[in-house]
Amino acid sequence: MRLRQPPLSSGVRQQMTDRGTCEHCHCEFDYSLVHNGFNDSAFAYCDSCGSVAILSAWFAHIPKDANFRGHGPISVESECWLKPCVCGGTFKAKGVPRCPKCTNLLSAEAATPWIEANALGTPKGWRWQGSWSGVYCIVIGGNVVNDNWRGVAA
């Protein structure tokens, strides 16, 4: 049986139509949720700007010592194997998304109303996981990098 590799987009929709709001400065922004279980991926947020790195379990050049595990946040051991963010920050296992305007940390609890209001599954019983450390991650304003492992050509 031949396995099919998922698309390179790691499940991030090309056009983000969902809108969220920062609980600090009330800035509105586009976002997209990524289900890392469906995508066989893991994620980490930049500790400075809140961009997200999505790392595919299908990627051929995952460093052997990275202790990679998919379906949620990366392991702490994987952090040192990731390239720095373009802003100069570091992608962290326990990172949190940030507002694209004021860069304050976004609360997963405060995001619940707008995430559930935008989710198509909410009327059928789907509920937001209520944390930034579950199977879902959030891409805000398209600020995402894929498979940004050190030692791998871009």
Query: Tens of pLDDT along 138-152?
Result: 999 999 999 999 987
The pLDDT of residue 3 is 33
For the chain, the domains span: 28-146
Query: Tens of pLDDT along 104-120?
Result: 999 999 999 999 999 99
Instruction: Give dist(CA 42, CA 133) in Å, integer.
Output: 10
What is the reported pTM?
0.88
Query: Tens of pLDDT along 21-47?
Result: 999 999 999 999 999 999 999 999 999
